[in-house]
Amino acid sequence: MAELQNLAYVVFAVSDLPAWRAYATDIVGLGVADLGDGRLGLRMDEHPWRILVETGADDDMTHAGWDLGSQNALDDYIVGLRAKGADVREESAACAAGRCVTRLYRLTDPNGICHEFFAGRTDLADDGGDLSPILRGPGFITGDLGIGHILPVSKDYEQGVRWYQDVLGLRYSDRIRQEIAPGVFADATFFHSASGRHHSLATGSFPSPKRLNHLMLEYRDMNDVGLACDRAKKAKIPIVLELGHHPNDQMFSFYMRTPSGFGLELGHGGLVIDDATWEPQLYDVMSDWGHARNMNMVD
């Protein structure tokens, strides 16, 4: 069966579009494309957009877009999904054009997130995404590795793990199971796509008002992580986890709130997996240093 190559984009329904514009440009350093009809495209590279924010009441992630790399691979992948009994459907040409692709298929996961499948995007440019001038470095790590990663919250953890691995076909990276109180564990499972970013998707099960716990974007320059953290604090944006380091993907990062309430992790230094040599591990800590939790924040 053909495999997902990378997580290419995400779509959010948001209640405050102006707040998202300011957050994207003044804090994160993204470029912005005005798409009309209550939509903004947030740019990271030559893609027309990597994050689509649409006016809506959810204040949550609604769609995740996965690139198959070629039309033949897309066809094979869809055949494989249907052989598993998945209710995957092709969308209209107009809908595909709205995602800047030629053909588009959709499938909803057990957690209510719609996954979209395509092969290559149209309207690519060579302007580097017209990123915000607040960035010190050359922007974001994307390309074959995709946008970054998402962590959707699973209503049923074991079901979610099975679905992302067995239905979507993502590859198992590793797992973290940390005892946070006697007999109480925080647990997350991490998956990568064929191009090898340590994880394009992870999932866990814990109380959450949102489908999405967080989105991660990775800077090319480590300095941009610290500078973004400073900008967020100056703007009084809630910091969820202070600067720290994860033991599994080796990411140096911090977490802050978005205008929609879910988290955004901004990081640098993430691992890329070589499946020929990779040996999955079970870790007992989410962070090997830092990532102190702001106790005033409620996830």
* 47-69 pLDDT tens trace: 999 999 999 999 999 999 999 99
DSSP annotation string for the chain = -----EEEEEEEEES-HHHHHHIIIIII--EEEE-SSSEEEEESSSSS-SEEEEE-S--EEEEEEEE-SSHHHHHHHHHHHHHTT---EEPPHHHHHHTT-S--EEEE-TTSPEEEEES--SS--SSTT---TT-SSS-B--GGG-S-EEEEBPSSHHHHHHIIIIIS-PEEEEEEEEEEETTEEEEEEEEE-TT-BS-SEEEE----SSSEEEEEEEBSSHHHHHHHHHHHHHTTPPEEEEEEE-TTT--EEEEEE-TTSSEEEEEE---B--TTT----EES-S-SEE--B-TT---
Q: Compare 299 and 76 and report the one with higher pLDDT.
A: 76
Predicted confidence band of residue 296 (pLDDT cuts 50, 70, 90): low
pLDDT in tens, 124-173: 999 999 999 999 999 999 999 999 999 999 999 999 999 999 999 999 99
In this prediction, residue 276 carries a pLDDT of: 97
In this prediction, residue 180 carries a pLDDT of: 85
In this prediction, residue 237 carries a pLDDT of: 98
The mean per-residue pLDDT over the stretch 84-113 comes to: 98
In this prediction, residue 184 carries a pLDDT of: 84
Share of the chain above pLDDT 90, in %: 94
Asked if domains 6-118 and 143-290 share a fold, the reply is yes
The predicted model scores a pTM of 0.97
Predicted confidence band of residue 294 (pLDDT cuts 50, 70, 90): confident
Share of the chain above pLDDT 70, in %: 98
In this prediction, residue 4 carries a pLDDT of: 98
In this prediction, residue 206 carries a pLDDT of: 83
297 pLDDT higher than 60 = no
In this prediction, residue 174 carries a pLDDT of: 98
CATH number listed for the domain at residues 6-118: 3.10.180.10
In this prediction, residue 236 carries a pLDDT of: 98
The mean per-residue pLDDT over the stretch 168-186 comes to: 93
CATH number listed for the domain at residues 143-290: 3.10.180.10
**Residue ranges of domains in the chain:** 6-118, 143-290
The mean per-residue pLDDT over the stretch 188-196 comes to: 98
298 pLDDT higher than 60 = no
pLDDT in tens, 198-249: 999 999 988 889 999 999 999 999 999 999 999 999 999 999 999 999 999 9
The mean per-residue pLDDT over the stretch 82-111 comes to: 98
